[in-house]
Amino acid sequence: MADVAAEAHVSVKTVSRVVNHEPGVRPDTAERVRAVIERLGFRRHDGARLMRQGRTFTIALVVEDLANPFYSQVGAAVEREARIRQHQLITASAEGSPSRERAVIEALVGRRVDGIVVVPADESASSDAVLEASHTPIVYMDRPVRGTPRDTILSDNHGGIRSAVEHLVAHGHRNIAFYGDDPAFWTARQRRDAFVTTQQSLGLPASPRVSMGPHTPVSVHETLSQWTTGPEPITAVITGNNRITLAALLALRELRLPLSLVGYDDFELAALIDPPVTVVHQDPAAMGQKAAQQLFARLLGDESQAQTVVMPTRLIVRASGIRRGTPTR
Amino acid sequence: MADVAAEAHVSVKTVSRVVNHEPGVRPDTAERVRAVIERLGFRRHDGARLMRQGRTFTIALVVEDLANPFYSQVGAAVEREARIRQHQLITASAEGSPSRERAVIEALVGRRVDGIVVVPADESASSDAVLEASHTPIVYMDRPVRGTPRDTILSDNHGGIRSAVEHLVAHGHRNIAFYGDDPAFWTARQRRDAFVTTQQSLGLPASPRVSMGPHTPVSVHETLSQWTTGPEPITAVITGNNRITLAALLALRELRLPLSLVGYDDFELAALIDPPVTVVHQDPAAMGQKAAQQLFARLLGDESQAQTVVMPTRLIVRASGIRRGTPTR
DNA sequence: CGGTGGTCAGACAACGCTGTCATGCCCGCA
DNA sequence: TGCGGGCATGACAGCGTTGTCTGACCACCG
């Protein structure tokens, strides 16, 4: 900028004015400056600019794994909201590790990002203290965090599971198994609990078949063959997330079992699997958008109390949930 | 930092030394400074620091759409490489628009990101001039760009398609159709050309059935019903990407046609579709990693000539490509 | 002709940090 | 006692901008 100023025989301030389209520059002066800028290939250094202004026009998204379709859809939505508002998005993966999450967030706070959307790795959110001290606005997503109340965007896990159970019961199922993820995850517990209470409220047989923990096709296979052969054999399965749905599909195919299945999370091509898989659809793009919007509201000075938004889920009925007891192939 | 210095009765420089673990500070002084830092909740402002140092420790990734699994896997891989090297990753979607891509890249250059990985929206890459002037290292991915030679990471489209054709021919197919994407895309043209030349080299009948352009299930449906009923009916289909594979699967299902299918791009659950879909697998994570590594090599001062790396593809054989002519349901 | 007000432009400091160099002190040694 | 050398620390400038304030110049008016 100093070079441009010297070359155009003006002060740096005038160059600044031209670059930022500020008023108070005679057209011919501005034109001269622009010509020099063009000739020298000058480009404003936004880092310096933003430092001067105390804002970075940058927000960050911290998730477990960007390659996971759920998070990548969230990421696309957040990036979109950011772009609309002239902000950049920094994305970071914590790989499910609280310590890495903390490190990542410290780095982001060190860069003075204007705000952060986080899918927290654990409920105690040790990183929260960092954010508290730095006053960086934050929105939690998908999972809540203990401690200071924060804006949080959740999915209606309870409603989603209830709709799945009700759907199956409406089609005559009474013995339903639930495969959930590791109960260390808040969402896994939520869905499990929803399953149990819904069963109770619908007056289904007690001692529900519930299997938690990280699941593999093999682990599903084992319990499945057990629960289908004993007394009161199950006729339907509900899976607690994407990966487990996949494991269950493989196990069902292997066992050639004609069970009904409702999966949590929609996935590409769910309609093409035979039978097409009925799913509880949560809308990651909508969640990401909502989270970003909430964050930007804070950035614009919204000082109202932290709020928790629960986003609705939707049951997408495909064949897998209704062909009760009939072989699918 | 000035506050900390005053409070600890030292100079800002000493605080700086403590914060950065520089030598030459007496342990008791350092301890005193650390205590004040803790008490005041001071945190180094990395923006200022990096500005002083002239680097941003930030790289950027510009793609079409972050929610697309291909790109999100690339993104995860690039982010990983960046994190390992203490860099942050800014991701941006250009949504396939050259003008938006240009705007995005200008913003990134304005922020002085250290380097950029781009999946270019078009071959003329108007944004290239910007990068040229700013000397920002860049690596192009998936598609090459005309003009100044640049580091470019491509996938072996030709080899991938050839393996698909050879696989089908080995199983007795002689009349194969190819559905490609809009020929405006370089990759689409590559794959189409590979299909045509491979057919020729294998001595298959001329006048290959090739259908390009954005495809919908309906558009595939139309040509498909035509090509299967005329003389020399086709017995197999090769699809040029993810979305077209999906369209073709829907069309095949609708028409209840027992054709063999080989799709380009692997996708989650390809194994679960009936019949399991044989695919040409390109490895987005490996491509992203390679691109990032190449970029960082440049950042570390590698001045060698720009190089183009072609990443191998792999044919994943599943049932869809081998059950020649036998109905699948 | 002096005063007033508007327009255009520049000087300067500051944003928060770090690289460079200078300073002061203490120690050991002749 | 004087001096060289190492160590701990500080002063200062500068990274590339922009906000604030000041000033030069001109036109207009009474």
pLDDT tens-digit map of B88-146: 999 999 999 999 999 999 999 999 999 999 999 988 877 888 888 889 999 999 999 99
The predicted pLDDT at position A208 comes to 76
For residue A167, the model assigns a pLDDT of: 95
Same domain assignment for residues A130 and A231 = no
Cα–Cα dist A44/A37, whole Å? 10
CA–CA distance, A177 with A260 (Å, rounded to integer): 10
Q: What is the pLDDT of residue B322?
A: 57
B11 touches strand D (CB under 7 A): yes
Q: Which of A227, A322, A327, A222 is nearest to A277 (CA)?
A: A322
Chain B: residue nearest A129 by CA? B41
**In the predicted structure, residue B37 carries a pLDDT above the cut 50:** yes
In this structure, is residue A229 part of a structural domain? yes
| CATH number for position A112 | 3.40.50.2300
From A38's Cα to the closest Cα of chain B, the distance in A is 11
Q: Which of B281, B301, B324 is the last residue of a domain?
A: B281
B147 and B294 fall within a common domain? yes
User: Residue closest to C10, CA→C1'?
Assistant: A11
d(CA B173, CA B324): 8
Question: Which residues are bridge partners to B98 per DSSP?
Answer: none
pLDDT mean over A20-33? 94
Chain B interface mutation, best of A46, A78, A111, A246, highest count of B Cβ atoms under 10 Å: A111
Mean pLDDT (chain B, rounded): 92
- CA B17, B19, B25: angle at the middle one, nearest 5? 35
Give dist(CA B211, CA B225) in Å, integer: 13
| φ, ψ dihedrals at A246, nearest 5° | -60, -45
Same structural domain, A212 and A239: yes
Integer Cα distance of B76 and B78 in angstroms: 6
Query: Same domain for B242 and B94?
Result: no
C-alpha A78/C-alpha A63 separation (Å) is: 12
Per DSSP bridges, beta strands A115-118 and B88-93 are unpaired
pLDDT at B306: 96
Same domain, A11 and A93: no
Residues A222 and A264 reside in one and the same domain: yes
Note whether B168 and B268 are same-domain residues.
yes
Is A88 in contact with B69 (Cβ distance < 8 A)? no
A 10 A CB-CB count for B140 gives 22
Residue-level pLDDT at B325 = 44
Query: What is d(CA A94, CA A125) in angstroms, rounded to the nearest whole number?
Result: 12
Return the DSSP state at B23: S
The pLDDT of residue B193 is above 90:
yes
Burial of B109 (0-12, 13-18, 19+ CB in 10 A): buried
| B93: nearest Cα among B74, B112, B113 | B74
Does A251 lie in the same domain as A162?
yes
Closest CA to A152 of A311, A313, A309: A309
Contacts of A63 in chain B (CB under 8 A): none
Tell me whether residue B146 is in a domain: yes
pLDDT at A324: 44
Of B112, B267, B272, the CB nearest to A273: B272
Coil vs helix vs strand at B139? strand
| The total number of structural domains that make up chain B | 3
Is residue B327 over pLDDT 50? no
Choose among A305, A294, A290: nearest CA to A138: A294
Phi/psi at A172 (5° precision): 95, 0
Q: Do B208 and B197 fall into the same domain?
A: yes
Q: Which long-range contacts (CB under 8 A, 24 or more apart) does B201-208 make?
A: B202/B165, B202/B166, B202/B169, B204/B169, B204/B174, B204/B175, B204/B176, B205/B174, B205/B175, B205/B232, B208/B176, B208/B177, B208/B178
Note whether B269 contacts A274, CB cutoff 8 Å: no
The residue type of A177 is A
Cα distances from B64 to residues A6, B70, B108, B119, B122, in angstroms, run: 41, 10, 16, 7, 11
Contact B273 A268 (CB under 8 A): no
* Start-to-end Cα distance in chain B: 72
Minimum Cα–Cα distance from B245: chain A residue: A269
Residue A275's pLDDT is what? Answer: 73
pLDDT computed for residue B254 by the predictor: 85
Q: Using pLDDT thresholds of 50, 70 and 90, give the confidence band for residue A45.
A: very high
3-state secondary structure of B325: coil
Domain boundary among A281, A299, A320: A281
Residue A195 φ/ψ, nearest 5 degrees = -60, -50
- C-beta atoms of A89 and B88 within 8 A: no
Q: How confident is the model at residue B328 (pLDDT cuts 50, 70, 90)?
A: very low
Distance in Å, alpha carbon of A76 to nearest chain B alpha carbon: 5
Mean pLDDT over B255-277 rounds to: 84
Query: In this structure, is residue A328 part of a structural domain?
Result: no
**In this structure, are B112 and B165 located in the same domain?**
no
- pLDDT classification of A207: cutoffs 50, 70, 90: low
Which strand (E) or helix (H) includes residue A284? helix A284-299
How far off is chain B from A198, nearest CA to CA, in Å? 30
**A277 and A209 within one domain:** yes
The reply to whether A293 falls in a domain is: yes
Distance B5 CA to C23 C1' (A): 19
Residue A318 belongs to some domain of the structure:
no
pLDDT at A182 (0 to 100)? 94
Q: Which domain holds residue A38?
A: 2-44
Task: Give the 3-state secondary structure of A161-179.
Answer: HHHHHHHHHHCCCCCEEEE
Residue A321 belongs to some domain of the structure: no
- Domain with residue B32: its CATH number is 1.10.260.40
Query: Between β-strands B58-63 and B115-118, what pairing exists: parallel, antiparallel or unpaired?
Result: parallel
Q: What is the mean pLDDT of residues B169-173?
A: 93
Which residue bears the tokens 């200022």? B48
Q: Which of A149-163, A311-325, B41-55 is least confident?
A: A311-325
* A231–chain B nearest CA distance, Å: 30
Q: Do both A98 and A117 map to the same domain? A: yes
Q: Which residues is A273 bridged to in the sheet?
A: B273
Question: pLDDT of A238-256, one tens digit each?
Answer: 999 888 998 898 898 888 8
Distance A14 CA to D28 C1' (A): 27
Q: Which nucleotide is nearest to B45 (CA to C1')?
A: C16
Closest residue, by C-alpha, to the C1' of C15: A52
B105 lies in some domain: yes
Name residues 186-245 of chain B with a Cβ under 7 Å from nucleic strand D: none
A322 domain-assigned: no
Token pair recorded at residue A321 = 């949930």
Give me A313's structure tokens.
């889920």
Interface residues, strand C, Cβ cutoff 7 Å: A 9-14, 23-26, 29-30, 48, 51-52, 54; B 1-2, 12-13, 16, 19-20, 43-45, 48-49, 51-53
B239 phi and psi angles, rounded to 5 deg: -110, 145
Cβ contact B90–A93 (<8 Å): no
